[in-house]
Amino acid sequence: MVILSETFADLHTHTTASDGELTPTELVMAASAAGVGVLAVTDHDTTAGVAEATLAARTVGIRLLPGVELSAEGMPGKCHLLGLGIDPANAVLIETLARISEARRVRNEQMAARLRSLGVAITLDEVTEAAPRGANVGRPHFAAVLVTKGAATDYRDAFSRFLSDDAPAYVEKATLTPAEAIHLIQGAGGRCFLAHPGLLRLAQQETFESRLRDLKTLGMDGIEAYYGKHSPVQNEQFVRLAGKLGLVVTGGSDFHGPTVSEARLNAVLDGEPLPAARLRWL
């Protein structure tokens, strides 16, 4: 247990509702043990874990922000957008996420077919059964089955050989445009942030500043300037850019679980906890 002298925030985490390793309740308990005082559950394309996490957070005195992480593609470029403080009961949000979920199911069927064409005996039913009940099935669940079947040595090998964006079993995912995602998040009462800007793939002649300006023009509220995998230099760079462009900042670990990623809960600012006081919009 971390002894708190101030409140720390981790506003980018995942549960078994998408591709995380811990249930919403387990995530909240782990966050509490790690010293997190303000937590956001931001599963990919779903808010299914928010209700359970909210109940668990009340038992341990954590402030829980309902959230979601949306993939977006189109002008000004491919990115992930975090919605924080959303209303998970918003009708338009629910309907849109349902459409995305159906498109994900079709994509998963196509990936399973591609894997079979590559000589891997795999079915979507097997992948679905291996995933937690109610989860948005995706590439991490495919990776787990590939390892179980001996088609890959580990999670990274499964992605490298079969599932990464440039690997042979990859299928493009149906996504919203950045403008659509921003509008959806804000229409559900949330703030929209560019997730992990340091991981952006910029086009030739494009800069981080130009991308952020374009997204701000579309209405984006802020950026995840503090990110567990950013270097100290990157953290400073994005805080500075946010100030210059009038964007607010957030921060998160992008925690998926103790064994499926290197991210650690509450390790947001140069490997250490992020004081919630730095996020003045909270």
Domain of 108? 103-163
Contact 66, 88 (CB under 8 A): yes
149 and 216 housed in the same domain: no
Kindly state whether residue 216 falls inside one of the protein's structural domains: yes
| 89 and 108 inside one domain | no
Residues 193 and 274 in one domain: yes
Which residue, 117, 134, 163, sits at the end of a domain?
163
Tell me the pLDDT of the chain (282 aa) as tens digits: 344 457 999 999 999 998 899 999 999 999 999 999 999 999 999 999 999 999 999 999 999 999 999 999 999 999 999 999 999 999 999 999 999 989 989 999 999 999 999 999 999 999 998 887 777 788 989 999 999 999 999 989 999 999 998 999 999 888 899 999 999 999 999 999 999 999 998 988 899 999 999 999 999 999 999 999 999 999 999 999 999 999 999 999 999 999 877 899 999 999 999 999 999 999
Which of 277, 257, 279, 272 is CA-nearest to residue 2?
A: 272
pLDDT at 5: 52
Specify if 247 maps to a domain: yes
Considering the domain architecture, whether residues 114 and 191 belong to the same structural domain is answered as no
Q: How far apart are the C-alpha atoms of 47 and 250, rounded to whole Å?
A: 19
CATH code, domain carrying 58 = 3.20.20.140
Residue at which a domain ends, from 136, 163, 190: 163
pLDDT, residue 245, reads: 98
Judgement on whether residues 90 and 183 belong to the same structural domain of the protein: yes
Q: Same structural domain for residues 134 and 212?
A: no
189 and 266 fall within a common domain: yes
- pLDDT score, position 178: 97
Identify whether 126 is part of a domain.
Answer: yes
* Interatomic CA distance for residues 156 and 114, integer angstroms: 19
CATH label of the domain that carries residue 111:
1.10.150.650
- Tell me, yes or no, whether 80 and 184 share the same domain: yes
Same domain, 16 and 121: no
The verdict on 197 and 260 lying in the same domain is: yes
Domain contains 169: no
Q: Which of 137, 163, 189 is the last residue of a domain?
A: 163
Whether 168 is covered by a domain: the verdict is no
**274 and 240 share one domain:** yes
Determine the pLDDT at residue 1. 39
Q: Are 259 and 21 a contacting pair, CB within 8 Å? A: yes
Distance (Å) of CA 225 to CA 37, 114, 235: 19, 37, 6
Query: 198 with 229, same domain?
Result: yes
Tokens 């509702």 belong to 17
Question: Within a domain: residue 58?
Answer: yes
171 part of a folded domain: no
Structural domain tally of the chain?
Answer: 2
Residue 231 belongs to some domain of the structure: yes
pLDDT at 133: 75
